[in-house]
Chains A and B, each alone.
Chain A
């Protein structure tokens, strides 16, 4: 064993492959989290209305949350594979050649859609839980004062919901950043390196090389990155919570 000091970490910082995977991971996080938040909020606002069959719909939404991520991957393999999937078949009909084993952009878009499909219900159900726990008084007062629906949403619902939205965003960012199973099953990081996010990159490196020192350096770096992100986000959340309580 040779002691290399910070050599492994220096190598990490100048490793184009690792930086590429970091970039892919963060792009993935940005796109999926923002989309899921907007979609989730829209559906949750819709669900605040009472109607017959709401319970059934909520159960349907909860289903993807309990399914194994690897099964989610397998479900989407069956959806997108050119041999069996309905997606390539349908897209072929409108003249689009869809093959996630070949086309990098399509592969990346597919994992984005898969993640949105998988986790928007979670965002919806959580925001809905937040929405139903509100006190009734401010809404009634606003209605008496003649505020319209958009004004109520903008000035009462959203400020009250901010803590829940932030908590949700925090959980989603951390979860999407460490995503592994679904992408591994669907594309294994391919084609090329188009969908190779951070976790996939680390596992691939560990599986294929015996450079345990470098692999460990990468693991440690990833761990610290997670802790720093966790700490930052928790602080932001607590600051915003304090502000919303004061106003």
Chain B
């Protein structure tokens, strides 16, 4: 019996290691390509790398335009996160505490907003944005990302505020707190951890977005993902630099992963599956 248990454990580890290699190898490959000079890349595929060719990172980010794209991405993702959190905080409080017309359809609203193909929206938005001169502005993208981030944030935050007992609100009301005061002094401190996770996920969604950014911007507000997509050219691609910019694109995901990992399934399935 004991022997059988050990064989089973060994086979589990074997499968896990295999799956880890399959999952991580493409990412690992990107990282080592980003450390190679042109000559090293064309010398043929080697599985390891000992030296680092820093120019791949330095040239696009500090000499070329990609540094600016990076700053644009940071501005837009952070601005969008701030705006969405501010609006979603009030909205989800209202949805959670008061009876509002249409609150029953909130789930369907959330789900259709995330499920609809963005490709179906770009033409109308392009025409509207051209009319009101929001094309190629930071504020335009910040507003646009609310479409998919706001329902998501409201849905996630509502679940978190729902579990805060109503008695707390009532106590605050008796002590003379207004609704705004209640949100600030009672709800915010309790919901802080959930709020932080929501913020990180929204931030990552904004950072990761490509299609809208590529259509709605041309130069001033171009984001890093759009810049990355333009790397492959007909006259030849600088693979090392492309890999380096990809690594930069990847970094936020790696940094935030530890915090959001527990909630990522709940978030991506709209709370249908909880961990």
Interface, chain A (partner B; CB < 8 A): 43, 46, 49, 51, 53, 57-71, 73-79, 81, 83-86, 89, 117, 121-122, 125-126, 129-130, 133, 164, 167-168, 171, 174-175, 177-178, 180-181, 184-185, 198-200, 202-203, 206, 212, 215-216, 219-220, 222-223, 226-227, 230, 234
User: Given A66-B256, A84-B45, A85-B45, do A60 and B24 touch, yes or no (CB 8 Å)?
Assistant: yes
Of the stretches B58-66, B112-120, B168-176, B183-191, the one at the interface is B112-120
Q: Considering the chains assembled together, what is the distance between the CA atoms of A167 and B111 in angstroms?
A: 12
Contact present for A130 and B273 (CB under 8 Å): yes
Contact present for A122 and B268 (CB under 8 Å): yes
Q: Considering the chains assembled together, what is the distance between the CA atoms of A232 and B231 in angstroms?
A: 40
Q: Given the complex, which residues of A lie within 8 Å of B246, measured CB to CB?
A: 71, 74-75, 78
Q: Given the complex, which residues of A lie within 8 Å of B52, measured CB to CB?
A: none
Contact of B26 among A117, A121, A174, A184 (CB under 8 A): A117
Contact present for A226 and B232 (CB under 8 Å): no
User: Given A181-B210, A222-B117, do A129 and B273 touch, yes or no (CB 8 Å)?
Assistant: yes
- Is B180 interfacial (CB-CB < 8 Å)? no
CB distance from A54 to the nearest CB of B (A): 8
Q: Considering the chains assembled together, what is the distance between the CA atoms of A139 and B124 in angstroms?
A: 54
Say what secondary structure dominates the interface of chain B.
helix
Q: Taking each of B19, B119, B121, B258, which has the highest tally of chain A beta carbons within 10 Å of its own beta carbon?
A: B119
Contact present for B208 and A78 (CB under 8 Å): no
Q: Considering the chains assembled together, what is the distance between the CA atoms of A184 and B229 in angstroms?
A: 9
CB distance from B229 to the nearest CB of A (A): 6
Sampled A-B contacts (8; CB under 8 Å)? A46-B15, A62-B257, A63-B24, A168-B269, A168-B273, A175-B115, A203-B119, A219-B124
Contact present for B12 and A51 (CB under 8 Å): yes
- Is B265 interfacial (CB-CB < 8 Å)? yes
Of the stretches B27-35, B84-92, B138-146, B157-165, the one at the interface is B27-35
Q: Taking each of A64, A84, A198, which has the highest tally of chain B beta carbons within 10 Å of its own beta carbon?
A: A84
From 1 to 43 in chain B, residues with beta carbon under 8 angstroms from any chain A beta carbon are 8-9, 12-13, 15-16, 19-20, 22-24, 26-27, 29-30, 33, 41-42
Q: Given the complex, which residues of A lie within 8 Å of B211, measured CB to CB?
A: 180-181, 203
Contact present for B30 and A78 (CB under 8 Å): yes
Closest to B267 in A: A65
User: Given A203-B211, A230-B111, do A178 and B116 touch, yes or no (CB 8 Å)?
Assistant: yes
Closest to B42 in A: A83
User: Given A75-B27, A203-B119, do A83 and B239 touch, yes or no (CB 8 Å)?
Assistant: yes
CB distance from A215 to the nearest CB of B (A): 5
Interface, chain B (partner A; CB < 8 A): 8-9, 12-13, 15-16, 19-20, 22-24, 26-27, 29-30, 33, 41-42, 44-45, 47, 111-112, 115-124, 126-127, 204, 207-208, 210-211, 215, 225, 228-229, 231-232, 239, 242-243, 246, 249-250, 253-254, 256-258, 260-261, 264-265, 268-269, 272-275
Contact present for B26 and A69 (CB under 8 Å): no
Contact present for A199 and B239 (CB under 8 Å): no
CB distance from A119 to the nearest CB of B (A): 10
Contact of A58 among B27, B44, B111, B261 (CB under 8 A): B261
Q: Considering the chains assembled together, what is the distance between the CA atoms of A168 and B273 in angstroms?
A: 9
Contact present for B26 and A79 (CB under 8 Å): yes
Q: Considering the chains assembled together, what is the distance between the CA atoms of A125 and B274 in angstroms?
A: 11
Q: Given the complex, which residues of A lie within 8 Å of B269, measured CB to CB?
A: 126, 167-168, 171
Contact present for A74 and B228 (CB under 8 Å): yes
Q: Considering the chains assembled together, what is the distance between the CA atoms of A167 and B124 in angstroms?
A: 31
Contact present for A65 and B112 (CB under 8 Å): no
Q: Considering the chains assembled together, what is the distance between the CA atoms of A65 and B155 in angstroms?
A: 20
Closest to A216 in B: B123
Q: Given the complex, which residues of A lie within 8 Å of B112, measured CB to CB?
A: 226-227, 230
Q: Considering the chains assembled together, what is the distance between the CA atoms of A63 and B253 in angstroms?
A: 7
Q: Given the complex, which residues of A lie within 8 Å of B261, measured CB to CB?
A: 58-59, 62
Q: Given the complex, which residues of A lie within 8 Å of B207, measured CB to CB?
A: 68
CB distance from B235 to the nearest CB of A (A): 13
CB distance from B32 to the nearest CB of A (A): 10
Top-9 shortest CB links A-B: A178-B117, A68-B208, A66-B253, A199-B119, A219-B120, A174-B115, A202-B119, A74-B246, A70-B210
Q: Considering the chains assembled together, what is the distance between the CA atoms of A84 and B41 in angstroms?
A: 6
User: Given A75-B30, A117-B26, do A63 and B257 touch, yes or no (CB 8 Å)?
Assistant: yes
Contact present for B253 and A60 (CB under 8 Å): no
CB distance from B128 to the nearest CB of A (A): 12
